[in-house]
Chain A
Amino acid sequence: MKKLIELRNVTKAFGENVVLKGIDLEIYENEFVTLLGPSGCGKTTTLRIIGGFVDPSSGEVLLNEKNILDIPAHKRPTNTVFQRYALFPHLDVFENVAFGLRMHSNKANIKIQIEKLKEDYQIRMDHALDSNTKKKLKLELNKEIELIKDPNVHLKLKIDKLKNKIKALDKTNPEFVSQKQKLQDQIKAIKVDFETPKVREKRLTDKVMKYLAMVNLQGYERRSVHKLSGGQQQRVAIARALINEPKVLLLDEPLAALDLKLRQEMQYELKEIQRNAGITFIYVTHDQEEALTMSDKIVVMNEGEIQQVGKPEDIYNEPINTFVAKFIGESNIIEGIMIDDYLVEFDGVKYPCVDYGFKRNEIVDIVLRPEDLDIVPEGTTPISGVVDSVAFKGVHYEIDVKTNTRIYTVHTTDYQPEGKKVSVSFEKEDLHVMEKW
């Protein structure tokens, strides 16, 4: 995969308040990247810096290896789905979605196209050897520019020829009327293919309809945006952001205002859209479940710093520190000593583990995920205690086992009565050792 966006040592301070303390991040094409963290961790600021709404205090933001910090928001190839949707209240659903297309008006587009063409030809002309080729290229360039300025140039020429033919007709010829009629019909037929504002509008309408269909909003074109439900407004916001075919779509907690069921549906839909459209998504959320479900890559942030970057499985199974471990799912975190590679000790008992590379006798944190723990008859393992509380969670029971030194939270499908004496067991792969943080 190709690298698309790179953040280099990006910092941001609002007055005394330092929000970002040097962010380094690489984002690849077609990636679904989630910035995950508690509120105030700087994830939204990072997104807004990429979108061009906030200037960083220092650092660089590169897109395709080019610094884009000098490019204003409206010229960046990014589009945003805002947290509160920010739909235009004076426009209906159709016009909201069409907004981006209308902003890139014909005139501006023509200007850009001509500039690009000129650049291309300039390079070719610089490489041209003799002045003849140069002249030829110049002529070609002028023709192409004319074609861009007026796409009907060729058709108009044809019509002129036909008109001349009409003029040249012999009026005394008995078939004059029918001949003239024939030529006039031909002119009419050519005019049908003219590029007119009407044709452009038709093209725009088709595109808007396509995107409305993509987010399942056919039939809502003329609806006022006030009269939509939260989920529908959200779809309008997504269609509106996608219609410009951005390289990167920025999403700022887009599902936060929806109820659980709708949120889960939208999660899958967003993932589908991302896969089909082949766009890089940068998704900001504080919901760890959402992040785990949707992302190719999760960036866990806290207090303006990146804590860990990795695939969802890696972040969950191998959290780099206690913050990540606590933020991503529940866990039992225990302080221990790394006796040696593959051997860790806590609560006075040594356990074999799969971790290595720590200093000898280094103080470490150990993560035990509740679903990795099991309750076994008392005395079968060194960790013995009493069932302290039992809560039914639907799929499993959440059982707290109190030992002499700590409380273990266990997720298990087997019910255990409160007060029962039990032991807690785990496999050595379930023991995750992290650096003390």
Chain B
Amino acid sequence: MFHGPLQTAVREKRKVKVKPYTFLGIPYYILLSSLIIIPLLLIIVYAVTIQEQGLYYKFTLIYFRQFFNEAEFVRVMADSIVLALMTTLICLFIGYPLAYFITKRKPITQAILVLLITAPMWVNMLIRTVAWKQIFDMINPRLLGTDFAIIVGMVYVFLPFMVLPIYTVLSKIDPLLYEASADLGGSNLKTFRKVTLPLSISGVLSGITMVLLPAATTMVIPRYLGQNRVLIGTLIERKFYDSGNWGYGAAIAIILSLIIMVMVYFTKKLDRNKEVELDEKA
């Protein structure tokens, strides 16, 4: 994804010993290690150890076994993932056309539309979710607690994360490429399939990732729009705080991450295959 300047910078860094901008990375490395790598290692450690007789810790996979033996938990996990997937799909089908539409406007209109899309993010997510709860209360209180209410809430909250990355890549496509495609005989549909889509696929992928991950783990939305329905985020939270079973919570978190990682990996792979196929046949 990052061609050119970054690569040359790395190469130059090897030749010359220290460049001033090397130091610019220090804050990032501090954050990276203290807030990402160390916590991640801690989660893994918690998930695979069990305390025995005071300070003595032992390696174990008991939490993982426990999770898969509890049918209820597995179902909650599956529910969460299905809801997250549907949210992601709906966000994609609303977000892509929307992003495409925005790029076709005048620059000033584009700026306003992007501003409007991001504007709700200035308001606290909790407040927005509660607002949705009240809207549902007003329209039809029976809807609260259904998949529908949860998905509506999640689509509303996460849509900007789908629109923005797609908009960014779409707006970077040289309009001349559309003309070139039309010039060579490409109808609008074909131009979209062979030029627009392959050139914006990276934005689609980051959009999917950015919606899928938080949607799979959100706690706020199921709490207010799901009538305290337990989804995986809440389950992990309860293990940590209510029952104080950190090891079990950590194990569930790891299982969830692994599933999502696998899904993201396959989406990427799927898309690349499709692109290659399009190039070879069509």
What total count of A-B pairs have CB within 8 Å? 72
Instruction: Name which of A72-80, A126-134, A183-191, A274-282 contacts chain B.
Output: A72-80
Is B198's CB under 8 angstroms from A90's CB?
yes
Q: Is the CB of A103 within 8 A of B186?
A: yes
Dominant secondary structure at the A interface:
mixed
Contacts of B199 in A (CB 8 A): 89-90
Which of A51, A89, A102, A197 has the largest number of chain B CB atoms within 10 A? Answer: A102
Pairs A–B under 8 Å by Cβ, sample size 23: A73-B183, A74-B181, A74-B182, A74-B183, A74-B184, A74-B186, A75-B185, A80-B183, A82-B176, A82-B179, A84-B174, A88-B177, A88-B180, A99-B181, A99-B194, A100-B185, A102-B194, A103-B185, A103-B186, A104-B185, A105-B190, A240-B184, A244-B185
Q: Does A95 contact B (CB under 8 A)?
A: yes
Interface presence of A86 (CB below 8 A): yes
Contact of A99 among B3, B179, B184, B281 (CB under 8 A): B184
B184 with A244: CB separation less than 8 A: yes
- Asked whether any CB of chain A lies closer than 8 Å to the CB of B282, the reply is yes
**B contacts, CB < 8 Å to A:** 3, 174, 176-177, 179-187, 190-191, 194-195, 198-199, 275, 279-282
Q: Are the C-beta atoms of A86 and B180 separated by less than 8 Å?
A: yes
Whether a CB of chain B sits under 8 angstroms from the CB of A53 is yes
| Contact yes or no, A86 B177, CB < 8 A | yes
CB distance from B158 to the nearest CB of A (A): 28
A91 at the interface (CB under 8 A from B): yes
CA distance A87 to B179 in the complex (A): 11
Question: Is the pair A78, B183 in contact by a Cβ cutoff of 8 Å?
Answer: yes
A73-B182, A79-B183 given as contacts; is B176 within 8 A of A91 (CB)? no
Contact A82 B180 (CB under 8 A): yes
Query: Given A89-B199, A99-B194, A102-B194, is A53 in contact with B185 using a C-beta cutoff of 8 Å?
Result: no
Beta-carbon contact of A95 and B279 below 8 Å? yes
Chain B residues closer than 8 Å to A102, beta-carbon distance: 194, 282
The number of residues on chain A lying at the interface, defined by a beta carbon within 8 Å of a beta carbon of chain B, is 31
Asked if residues B179 and A53 are in contact (CB atoms below 8 Å), the reply is: yes
B196 to chain A, nearest CB (A): 10
Interface contact B176-A84, CB-CB below 8 Å: yes
User: From residue B197, how far is it (CB to closest CB) to chain A in Å?
Assistant: 10
Which 7 A-B pairs have CB atoms at the shortest separation, nearest pair first? Answer: A100-B184, A103-B185, A86-B176, A86-B180, A73-B182, A74-B182, A103-B186
- Check A73–B194 contact: CB distance below 8 A: no
Q: How far is the CA of A90 from the CA of B3 in the complex (A)?
A: 13
- Considering the chains assembled together, what is the distance between the CA atoms of A100 and B183 in angstroms? 8
Residues A88 and B195 in contact, CB atoms below 8 Å apart: yes
Residue of B180, B194, B275, B279 near A80 (CB, 8 A) is B180
Report the bound CA distance from A90 to B276 in whole Å.
11
* Separation of A382 and B130 alpha carbons in the complex (Å): 98
Q: A88-B180, A105-B282, A244-B184 are in contact. List 14 more A-B contacts (CB 8 A).
A: A53-B182, A73-B182, A74-B181, A80-B183, A84-B174, A84-B176, A86-B176, A90-B199, A99-B194, A100-B184, A103-B184, A103-B186, A103-B194, A240-B184
Task: Judge whether B174 and A86 touch: CB under 8 Å.
Answer: yes
Within 8 A of B (CB), among A69-126: 72-75, 78-80, 82, 84, 86-91, 95, 99-100, 102-105
Give A48 Cβ to nearest chain B Cβ, in Å.
9
A258 → B minimal CB distance (Å): 18
Please, which residues of chain B bring their CB within 8 A of the CB of A80? 179-180, 183
Contacts of B181 in A (CB 8 A): 74, 88, 99, 103
Interface centre among B184, B187, B190 (most CB of A within 10 A): B184
In the bound complex, what is the Cα–Cα distance between A52 and B181 (angstroms)?
12
A residues near B195, Cβ cutoff 8 Å: 88, 90
Q: How far is the CB of A128 from chain B (nearest CB, A)?
A: 36
Nearest to A99 among chain B residues (CB) is: B184
A197/B281 in contact, CB under 8 A: yes
Is A91 within 8 A of B282, CB to CB? no
Chain B residues with CB below 8 A from A86, complex form: 174, 176-177, 179-180
How far, in angstroms, from A86 to B191 measured CA to CA in the complex?
14
